[in-house]
């Protein structure tokens, strides 16, 4: 925890020296161990939605979010061991979008591990993305932690292969968050089998961090804040002592605890999304535990986007959100209550008016 | 309640005009009228939904639905309200135009443009059942 504070101070000093503004939408993740020599950090950038207009033109607003995140990642002190990108690099999965996003990310002076988002996938089912970034699901070990990356945004074969007259149409149908022609996300049989085998080699005491694009829990089906086989994934992760799932897609702060698994979302660099509870016609299950982020002020382009430091003390994730134009948030694992809690706003009486969404 | 008042008003109006125009049944409407009027509204709301998801409403391909799925966080039930960045009480169409000009990098619509009406029909329809709270933030 002391390392977190130190790195945050350094970080703020560096950025202010370069007059880059107070905050940028990336995620800083720190894994702290009992022996602080083993501590390490990684950064997390997600949901940039690079959107091609035509020719050499891209939507300026979304470009700026990713560029700021990249600039700040390079200023982090201590330097992170690696960077995660949480999916939805592109808006409509096209080569120009993925190329342009990859070029912006190429300024990062670290290795980057990528997660597949639905906006990257449904044009060519990830073919071009794989060429640029590698396999769609994989695992790696780093300093005593087992990291797993899943492609959680696949869906039923009938929808993917037989329903749409063109790949472009398929991409457009899945790109609309509220489009009733969409289809629920899922990890699927093939990856669940792979996950089972991958986990078989891992000691039950090894901390596990799973990265997915969609939440591996069910929140609201209508916007795919949802993974159809979430319970089956949770069951595979159940035997392990310390499991954290970190996901993108939702463009907002969410956290939850289900059994042994802590869930955390990360912020988008592109734009914020409303909480599903604000859609009057929706039946939704936002985790009771979550204290929402402040309502976005549309007049500030980067408002309600943000970045996080994550401190993995004793194998649990402590997540520090740094938010543009807003007070920072800190969601830490409470060892007494055995769940993540906001360090300032968890009690109902301490919440502020912008955290009430309606 | 509303319909009773309306009927009275229409009735009075029709009495005053009795002497100048032929008798008409202005106070009577049928189920098929109700259906037709509802259909007129739903057609407008449907057009509004198409505009909401359209990449060509602005100039940069960004659609309203990208940030406001199902028109969530638009809050038509709270307008007119004070918008601090504009510094005065505004109706919702002015806020829609703010979005057209900024995130969508497009042109504003006139208040009575059928497209503007359709957009309001759509977002209000998505918000149906929520009580009016003018001015709320």
Contact residues on chain B for A172, CB-CB shorter than 8 A: none
* Higher-pLDDT residue of A107, A17: A107
Angle (nearest 5°) at CA A312 between A261 and A46? 80
Give B76→chain A minimum CA distance, Å.
Answer: 12
Percentage of chain A exceeding pLDDT 70: 86
Contact residues on chain B for A357, CB-CB shorter than 8 A: 73
Q: B-side interface with A, Cβ within 8 Å?
A: 53, 60-62, 65-70, 72-73, 75, 85, 98-99, 102-103, 126-130, 137
Contact residues on chain A for B60, CB-CB shorter than 8 A: 51, 53, 59-60
Residue of B nearest to A173 (CA): B53
How do the domains of chain B map onto residue ranges?
2-126
Q: A269: domain CATH number?
A: 3.60.21.10
How many structural domains comprise chain A?
A: 1
Q: Supply the pTM of this predicted model.
A: 0.87
Res A318: pLDDT: 75
Res B55: pLDDT: 97
Residue of A nearest to B101 (CA): A299
Mean pLDDT along residues A196-201: 97
Res A18: pLDDT: 33
Residue A308: band (very low, low, confident or very high) from pLDDT cuts 50, 70, 90: low
Residue A10: is its pLDDT beyond 60? no
- Architecture of domain B2-126 in CATH? Orthogonal Bundle (1.10)
CB contact under 8 A, B70 and A179: no
A357 part of a folded domain: no
| A241's tokens | 């002592």
A118 part of a folded domain: yes
Residue A13: is its pLDDT beyond 70? no
Mean pLDDT along residues A143-152: 94
What burial class does residue A127 get, using C-beta atoms within 10 Å of its C-beta: 0-12 exposed, 13-18 middle, 19+ buried? exposed
In this structure, of A34-38, A205-209, B4-8, B97-101, the range with the lowest mean pLDDT score is B4-8
Res A7: pLDDT: 41
Contact residues on chain B for A299, CB-CB shorter than 8 A: 85
A356 part of a folded domain: no
pLDDT in tens, A99-140: 999 999 999 988 999 999 999 999 999 999 999 999 999 999
Residue of A nearest to B124 (CA): A280
CB contact under 8 A, B60 and A223: no
CB A204 within 8 A of CB A237: no
DSSP conformation letters of B41-78:
HHHHHHHHHHHHT-TTSSSSS--HHHHSGGGTT--GGG
pLDDT in tens, A266-278: 999 999 999 999 9
Residue B26: band (very low, low, confident or very high) from pLDDT cuts 50, 70, 90: confident
CB contact under 8 A, B69 and A298: no
* Domain that includes residue A240, residue range: 2-344
Average pLDDT, chain A: 88
A351 part of a folded domain: no
């290795």: which residue's tokens?
Answer: A111
Angle (nearest 5°) at CA A262 between A259 and A268? 145
Percentage of chain B exceeding pLDDT 70: 82
Give A101→chain B minimum CA distance, Å.
Answer: 17
Separation CA A355–CA A340 (nearest Å)? 18
A317 part of a folded domain: yes
């Amino acid at each position: 925890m002391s390392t977190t504070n130190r790195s945050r101070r350094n970080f703020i000093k560096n950025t202010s020296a370069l007059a880059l503004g107070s905050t940028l939408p990336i995620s800083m993740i720190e894994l702290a161990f009992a022996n602080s020599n083993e501590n390490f950090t990684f950064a997390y950038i997600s949901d940039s939605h690079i959107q091609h207009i035509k020719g050499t033109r891209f939507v300026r607003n979304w470009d700026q979010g990713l560029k700021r995140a990249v600039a700040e990642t390079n200023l982090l002190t201590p330097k992170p061991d690696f960077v995660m990108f949480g999916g939805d690099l592109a808006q409509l999965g096209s080569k120009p979008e993925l190329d342009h996003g990859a070029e912006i990310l190429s300024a990062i002076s670290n290795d980057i591990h990528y997660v597949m988002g639905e906006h990257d996938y449904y044009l060519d089912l990830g073919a071009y993305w794989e060429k640029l970034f590698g396999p769609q699901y994989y695992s790696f070990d780093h300093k005593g932690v087992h990291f797993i990356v899943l492609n959680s945004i696949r869906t039923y074969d009938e929808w993917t292969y037989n329903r749409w007259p063109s790949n472009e149409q398929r991409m457009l149908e899945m790109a609309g968050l509220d489009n009733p022609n969409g289809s629920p996300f899922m990890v699927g049989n093939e990856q669940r089998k792979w996950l089972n085998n991958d986990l078989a080699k891992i000691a039950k005491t090894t901390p596990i961090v799973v990265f997915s694009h969609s939440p591996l829990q069910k929140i609201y089906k209508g916007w795919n804040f949802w993974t159809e086989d979430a319970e089956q994934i949770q069951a595979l992760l159940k035997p392990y002592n310390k499991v954290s799932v970190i996901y993108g897609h939702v463009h907002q702060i969410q956290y939850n605890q289900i059994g042994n698994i802590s869930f955390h979302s990360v912020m988008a660099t592109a734009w914020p999304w409303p909480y599903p509870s604000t859609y009057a016609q929706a039946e939704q299950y936002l985790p009771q535990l979550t204290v929402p982020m402040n309502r976005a002020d549309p007049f500030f382009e980067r408002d309600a986007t943000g970045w996080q430091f994550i401190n993995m003390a004793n194998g649990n994730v402590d997540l520090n959100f740094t938010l543009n134009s807003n007070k920072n948030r800190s969601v830490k694992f409470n060892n007494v209550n055995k769940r993540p809690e906001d360090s300032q706003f968890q009690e109902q009486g301490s919440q502020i008016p912008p955290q009430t969404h309606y | 309640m509303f319909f009773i008042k309306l009927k009275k008003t229409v009735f009075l109006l029709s009495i005053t005009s009795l002497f100048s125009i032929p008798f008409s049944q202005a106070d009577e409407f049928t189920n098929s009228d109700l259906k037709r009027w509802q259909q007129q509204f739903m057609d407008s709301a449907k057009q509004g939904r198409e505009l909401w998801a359209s990449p060509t409403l602005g100039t940069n391909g960004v659609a309203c639905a990208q940030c406001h799925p199902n028109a969530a966080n638009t809050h038509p039930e709270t307008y007119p309200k004070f918008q601090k960045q504009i510094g005065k009480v505004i109706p919702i169409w002015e806020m829609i135009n703010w979005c057209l000009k900024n995130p969508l990098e497009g042109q504003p619509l006139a208040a009575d443009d059928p497209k503007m009406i359709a957009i309001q029909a759509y977002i209000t329809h998505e918000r149906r059942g929520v009580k009016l709270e003018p001015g709320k933030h």
